[in-house]
Amino acid sequence: MANGNTAIVKTLKIGGEIEINRLGYGAMRITGNGIWGEPTDHDESIRTLKALPGLGVNFIDTADSYGPNVSEELIREALHPYGADMLIATKAGLTRTGPDQWVPLGRPEYLIQQAHTSLRRLGVKQIGLWQLHRIDPSTPRDAQFGAIKELLKEGVIRHAGLSEVSVADIKAASKFFKVASVQNRYNLTDRTSEDVLDYCTAQGIAFIPWHPLAAGDLTGPGSLFDTIAKRHDAAPGQIALAWLLQRSPMMLPIPGTSKVAHLEQNMKAADIVLSGEEFAALDKEGKKRGG
């Protein structure tokens, strides 16, 4: 496990070739309540997206299901034509029937269709990173992986990744294509995917933790978390992100927000360096609180 004494690498390479800064942006929260429909403050969402390049963010994570379609459309409105170093990753494999409702759909023809429609919504000739949002249990896993292989072969997508998978899933997918990224839930107190993270680190696969800022009750007044945050003159969320960045050189956190001020605060986490003792103490406390 990495720790606070390890030099923090600021970048990583997706698929071994697309270099990006290791603190990205998740574009789920720029949509409406329940990740459904248009944002309540369209102009602020656009301002937030427009602020990304100036803050050194060159990796944006979105999905066709965010809105649905709304997140991808807002990204294009705010940032197209994109800078040469901007990588916009999107996903497919979940359909929407209403606010906060997510239904897996992994039929090969559907996945291929959605990749093509994301291509048009984002206004790009090729999607740099496309990820299977979920493995649909009602569709043969290999059929879904075969669809991704076809998208890569046709050049619709450049690199492919997975979301909410096990090490066994990654190994199975690797028989069809090179897995460039894995996006699983992971934070200080939710360490269910520890083995997946370790596997990705060993294999050079980008690990994108969703829900990265969760810290449970670790952040209460007078807590270890609170003490460390005050020591670094930082907000609790910044410490959570700093810990993730030091956990693995393949970690790619994507904190999301629809507010410029919150975005600016999140991005400052890249400059925080925890000591080895601080990192270890947070690691131990996080595991204990996470059960």
Q: Which of the residues 25, 66, 82, 186 is marked catalytic?
A: 66
Tokens 């896993």 locate to 141
The rounded Cα 126 to chain-centroid distance in angstroms is: 19
**Chain length of the chain:** 291
C-alpha to C-alpha distance for 117 and 135, rounded to whole angstroms: 20
- Report how many helices (DSSP H) and strands (DSSP E) the chain contains, helices first: 10, 11
Task: Give catalytic status of residue 66 as yes or no.
Answer: yes
Q: Do residues 71 and 28 lie in contact, with contact meaning Cβ atoms separated by under 8 Å? A: yes
User: By C-alpha distance, which of 213, 204, 198 is closest to 253?
Assistant: 213
Q: Do residues 165 and 196 lie in contact, with contact meaning Cβ atoms separated by under 8 Å? A: yes
Query: CA 148 → CA 178, 183, 204, distances in Å?
Result: 10, 16, 20
User: By C-alpha distance, which of 213, 270, 206 is closest to 237?
Assistant: 213
Beta bridge partners of 35: none
C-alpha to C-alpha distance for 289 and 291, rounded to whole angstroms: 5
Q: Do residues 23 and 268 lie in contact, with contact meaning Cβ atoms separated by under 8 Å? A: no
C-alpha to C-alpha distance for 210 and 32, rounded to whole angstroms: 19
Please list the active-site residues: 66
